[in-house]
């Protein structure tokens, strides 16, 4: 794919006219997908696909199109010539874009990650063996992801990454299940066994009679997956330059009133240790690290090229959405084995869902517990609890009421595979929080 993409870029470059400039973004994958139900393989498929996003620029006018590639050179060349002619017709009629900005400083890079994944059959055998006696349902996605950028100025960028993401649930009955995931760049049998053992232990407890709790404030432990739900909401307009300049950010109090989170909270865009490419659609190179929140204080925005042009500030290689693609939250000192003891009496929350802002300027979020949420007494899981709704502000959850963060952090890969495998990722700890408000 690497060589083929560069050849296509050279082919396009040779067909430019006059002052035309082109940029193109390559996206490809060589992936295996295995779907499980009843702890048996129900569907297995291998997918190899690639596409180009082409953009033709003349002055401040531009147009773009997405092209699916066949891998056949003659067919792809003919298709790209046709698309380029269509883009020329569009560029002639579109208005000038005052916020157009693309990288004109040639910075070529290549990052080839090693493929340390075992054959998919190895993971499948372990999954079925470990899931014996359970109703295991899930999807294993693994293999290579490839990204590239090229422009007519001579810049060439390439990134390859190999990872696996097993997203599964162990079902008890109806909507009662323990949801788990295991992601990484190698398949560690010991780590997978530990996650599966914990899930099967929780499945046994899930069979007990559930409790219904009254609304109120409870001490809770939020797993890394549950905590990621809060970070996803913050990423929805919380970190982007445009949202800050238009005062749409839910973190407006941190910017205008100097509100702070707990001093242990540091949030980074950590491209260096993520799965996403270290370059973006306009050819700007991303820094290894972009601090967003540092020791509880807001540090800086993710700034796309368009926002940089509009507001007269430097870009830091953010995507058009200005959302983090490799979010990283620092851990704390609470050991994972001590979580239940530290929780004492309260709720152990594995998953949250249906989150939304109930008061955006106050950064207040509402949502519901999901799957295996447990009542804990004296440091021991006692019983599952029925679904509850919470309503809390991030300033309390990650601020005044934060007790501790776990030292161990989980690598979480986005399980989105609708058009292609996502490259968004996160590294997050679990969080122990007191006085967490449940309203229903």
Mean pLDDT score, 154-169: 97
Would you place residue 246 in the very low, low, confident or very high pLDDT band (cuts 50, 70, 90)? Answer: very high
Q: Element (H or E) spanning 429, and its range? A: strand 425-438
What's residue 206's pLDDT? Answer: 95
**Same domain (yes/no): 259, 359:** yes
Instruction: Give the residues across from 161 on adjacent strands.
Output: 145
**Same domain (yes/no): 220, 191:** no
**Same domain (yes/no): 172, 238:** no
Q: How many domains does the chain have?
A: 2
What's residue 424's pLDDT? Answer: 96
Q: The domain spanning residue 13 has which CATH number? A: 3.30.2290.10
Q: Between vectors from CA 78 to CA 75 and to CA 80, what angle results, nearest 5°?
A: 105
What's residue 153's pLDDT? Answer: 96
Concatenated DSSP letters for 89-108?
HHHTTSPP-TT-----S---
pLDDT surpasses 90 at 379: yes
Global pTM value = 0.94
**Position of tokens 């594995």?**
350
| Residue 207 in domain | no
Would you place residue 418 in the very low, low, confident or very high pLDDT band (cuts 50, 70, 90)? Answer: confident
Cα–Cα dist 152/287, whole Å: 23
**Same domain (yes/no): 249, 174:** no
- Please state, in angstroms and as integers, the Cα–Cα distance from residue 218 to each residue in 188, 202, 345, following that order: 36, 21, 9
Q: State the average pLDDT for the chain.
A: 96
As given in the structure block, the two tokens for residue 430 are 């679990």
pLDDT surpasses 90 at 350: yes
Strands (E), 295-359: 297-298, 326-329, 346-359
Cα–Cα dist 187/126, whole Å: 10
**Same domain (yes/no): 142, 265:** no
* pLDDT tens sequence across 195-216: 999 999 999 999 999 999 999 9
Mean pLDDT score, 141-154: 97
As given in the structure block, the two tokens for residue 299 are 């540090």
Domain boundary among 197, 226, 244: 197
What's residue 173's pLDDT? Answer: 86
Tell me if 428 sits within 8 A of 412, measured CB to CB: yes
Concatenated DSSP letters for 210-269?
PB-PPSEEEEEEE-HHHHHHHHHHHHTTSSBHHHHHTT--TTHHHHHS-----TT--EEE
What's residue 31's pLDDT? Answer: 98
Which of 111, 57, 145, 55 lies closest to 285 in space, CA to CA? 111
Helix locations, 278-375, DSSP H = 305-311, 339-343
Mean pLDDT score, 161-172: 96
What does DSSP assign to residue 396? Answer: I
What's residue 207's pLDDT? Answer: 94
Tell me if 388 sits within 8 A of 213, measured CB to CB: yes
Mean pLDDT score, 43-65: 97
| Residue 209 in domain | no
**Same domain (yes/no): 426, 335:** yes
Q: Is 16 exposed, middle or buried (0-12, 13-18, 19+ CB in 10 A)?
A: middle
| Residue 432 in domain | yes
Would you place residue 96 in the very low, low, confident or very high pLDDT band (cuts 50, 70, 90)? Answer: very high
* pLDDT tens sequence across 258-292: 999 999 999 999 999 999 999 999 999 999 999 99
Q: Domain range for residue 122?
A: 2-197
Cα–Cα dist 265/80, whole Å: 48
pLDDT surpasses 90 at 357: yes
Q: What percent of the chain has pLDDT over 70?
A: 100
pLDDT surpasses 90 at 174: no
pLDDT surpasses 90 at 218: yes
pLDDT surpasses 90 at 106: yes
């Amino acid at each position: 794919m690497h060589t083929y993409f560069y050849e296509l870029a050279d082919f396009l470059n040779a067909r430019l006219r006059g002052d035309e400039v082109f940029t193109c973004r390559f996206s490809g994958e060589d992936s295996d997908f295995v779907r499980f139900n009843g702890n048996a393989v129900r569907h297995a498929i291998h997918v190899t696909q690639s596409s180009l996003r082409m953009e033709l620029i003349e002055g401040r006018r531009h147009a773009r199109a997405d092209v699916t590639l066949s891998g056949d050179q003659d067919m792809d060349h003919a298709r790209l010539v046709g698309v380029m002619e269509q883009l020329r017709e569009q560029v002639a009629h579109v208005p000038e874009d005052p916020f157009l900005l693309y990288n004109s400083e040639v910075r070529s890079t290549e990052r080839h990650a090693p493929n340390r994944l075992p054959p998919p059959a190895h993971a499948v055998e372990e999954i079925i063996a470990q899931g014996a006696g359970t109703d295991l349902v899930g999807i294993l996605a693994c293999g290579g992801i490839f990204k590239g950028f090229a422009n007519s100025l001579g810049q060439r960028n390439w990134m390859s990454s190999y990872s696996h993401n097993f997203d599964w649930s162990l079902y008890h009955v109806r909507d009662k299940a323990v949801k788990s995931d295991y992601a990484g760049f190698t398949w560690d049998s010991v780590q997978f066994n530990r996650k599966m053992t914990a899930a099967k232990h929780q499945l046994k407890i899930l069979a007990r009679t559930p409790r219904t709790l009254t609304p109120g404030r409870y001490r809770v432990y939020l797993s890394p997956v549950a905590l990621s739900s809060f970070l996803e909401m913050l990423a929805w307009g919380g970190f982007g330059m445009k949202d800050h300049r238009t005062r749409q950010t839910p973190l407006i109090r941190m910017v205008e009133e100097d509100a702070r989170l707990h001093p242990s909270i540091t949030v980074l865009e950590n491209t260096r240790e993520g799965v996403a490419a270290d370059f973006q659609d306009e050819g700007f190179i991303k820094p290894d690290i972009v601090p967003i929140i540092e020791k509880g204080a807001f540090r800086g925005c993710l700034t796309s090229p368009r926002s940089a042009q509009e507001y007269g500030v430097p870009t830091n290689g953010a995507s058009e959405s200005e959302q983090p693609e490799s979010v990283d939250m620092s851990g704390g000192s609470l050991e994972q084995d001590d979580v239940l003891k530290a929780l004492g009496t309260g709720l152990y929350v594995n998953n949250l869902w249906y989150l939304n802002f109930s008061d955006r300027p106050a950064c207040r979020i509402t949502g519901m517990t999901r799957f295996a949420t447990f009542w804990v007494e004296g440091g021991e899981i006692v019983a599952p609890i029925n679904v509850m709704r919470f309503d809390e502000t991030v300033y309390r959850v990650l601020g005044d009421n934060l007790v501790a963060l776990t030292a161990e952090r989980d690598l979480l890969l986005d399980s989105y595979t609708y058009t292609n495998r996502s490259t968004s990722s996160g590294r997050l700890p679990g969080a122990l929080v007191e006085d967490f408000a449940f309203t229903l």
